[in-house]
């Protein structure tokens, strides 16, 4: 597996493949952007990329601009050696691991702002977060010029922001969204789960319990936003140590609240287990 540290090297790798002999389909490039601390959720993205693309690059970069001043940038888990081993085992050909200075050169003044969407859901609770995400993902996609980039549905609001950005900037990359990967007991996998104490880990199951309750009610025919949100609130009320940030039913493209669930509507929750903020969601069928 190749290790690449600069944007120029990544671009050269990508362009060399484009120029290589063979059909276009033989040279497709898949890209999996990550902040490292890889788990089975990331593994599923890398596997999906390897299954549908001839070449796969995985970026490992803890992006400072998507963390607020009092957030966990400094203590975000960094497990670089293990990440490289996992990415290689799942089919990555290249690891792109730039320094902060490489992606944010001194004096840089350019950011990508997806207006409107960036202030909703996690963007409302984490001002500036989606500006940081959109900026770094734009930099990565412009550098790697992949055919497809792979993201997890767990960060559903991020997906909405990035879909809008790719469409608005007319980037030539297709975004592929892969299903949430859960532990056997239902907890959605997240690099931040490592922050949870054993007690918090058990209590954090409230999020997936609320998601399941809403899915059950929709399966029984309930479509109203108010009763679905009320039912989820009752699940959270049974575990008062978990503090709700938001519980919402939104249009997945616009992140605007909806009154009635229709196929494709996003039901999303965010909540605090101690000092750890967790998110989970389901796309209603
Ligand atoms: O989803 C993540 O891990 C990050 O937000 C991303 C897309 C790698 C950008 O830093």
Task: For residue range 87-96, list pLDDT tens digits in order.
Answer: 999 999 999 9
Question: Which protein residue's CA is at the shortest distance from atom 1 of ligand 1?
Answer: 34
Query: Are residue 174 and residue 259 in the same domain, yes or no?
Result: no
Burial (CB count within 10 angstroms: exposed 0-12, middle 13-18, buried 19+), residue 25 = exposed
* Residue 183 is assigned to a structural domain of this protein: no
Is 42 tagged catalytic? yes
**How far is 68 from 23, CA to CA, in rounded Å?**
45
* Residue 261 is assigned to a structural domain of this protein: yes
Query: Are residue 113 and residue 234 in the same domain, yes or no?
Result: no
Give pTM, 2 decimals.
0.97
Residues 63, 58, 105, 137, CA torsion sign: negative
- Which of 146, 178, 210 is the C-terminal boundary of a domain? 178
- Rounded distance from Cα 230 to ligand 1 centre (Å): 31
Q: What is the pLDDT of residues 217-260, one digit of tens each?
A: 999 999 999 999 999 999 999 999 999 999 999 999 999 999 99
Is the C-beta atom of 35 inside 6 A of ligand 1?
yes
Domain hosting residue 253, numbered range = 191-279
Query: Are residue 50 and residue 148 in the same domain, yes or no?
Result: yes
* Residue 163 is assigned to a structural domain of this protein: yes
- Which of 178, 212, 244 is the C-terminal boundary of a domain? 178
Domain of 215: which CATH number?
3.30.1300.10
Ligand 1 atom closest to 34 (CA): 8
Strands 266-273 and 242-250: antiparallel
Strands of the sheet containing 94-96, edge to edge, are 2-4, 94-96, 55-60, 29-34, 148-152, 174-178
**How far is 159 from 153, CA to CA, in rounded Å?**
7
- Which of 126, 155, 178 is the C-terminal boundary of a domain? 178
């Amino acid at each position: 597996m190749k290790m690449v540290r600069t944007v120029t090297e990544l671009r050269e790798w990508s362009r060399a493949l484009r120029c290589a002999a063979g059909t276009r389909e033989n040279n497709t490039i898949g890209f999996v952007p990550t902040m490292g601390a890889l788990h089975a959720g990331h593994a599923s993205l890398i596997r999906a990329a390897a299954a549908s693309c001839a070449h796969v690059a995985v970026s490992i970069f803890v992006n400072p601009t998507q963390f607020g001043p009092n957030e966990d940038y400094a203590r975000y888990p960094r497990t670089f050696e293990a990440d490289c081993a996992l990415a290689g085992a799942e089919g990555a050909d290249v690891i792109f691991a730039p320094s902060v200075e490489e992606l944010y050169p001194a004096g840089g003044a350019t950011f990508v702002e997806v207006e409107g969407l960036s202030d909703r859901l996690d963007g409302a609770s984490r001002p500036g977060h989606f500006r940081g995400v959109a900026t770094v993902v734009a930099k990565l996609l412009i550098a790697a010029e992949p055919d497809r980039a792979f993201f997890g549905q767990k960060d559903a609001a991020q997906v909405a922001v990035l879909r809008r950005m790719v469409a608005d900037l007319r980037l030539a990359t297709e975004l592929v969204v892969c299903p949430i990967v859960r532990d056997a007991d239902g907890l959605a996998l997240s690099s931040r789960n490592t922050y949870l104490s054993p007690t918090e880990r058990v209590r954090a199951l409230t999020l997936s319990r609320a998601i399941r309750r809403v899915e059950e009610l929709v399966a029984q025919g309930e479509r109203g936003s108010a009763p679905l949100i009320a039912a989820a609130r009752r699940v959270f009320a049974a575990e008062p140590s978990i503090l709700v940030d938001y519980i919402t039913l939104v249009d997945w493209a616009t992140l605007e609240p909806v009154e009635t669930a229709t196929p494709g509507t996003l039901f999303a929750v965010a909540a605090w287990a101690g000092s750890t903020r967790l998110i989970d969601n389901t796309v209603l069928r």
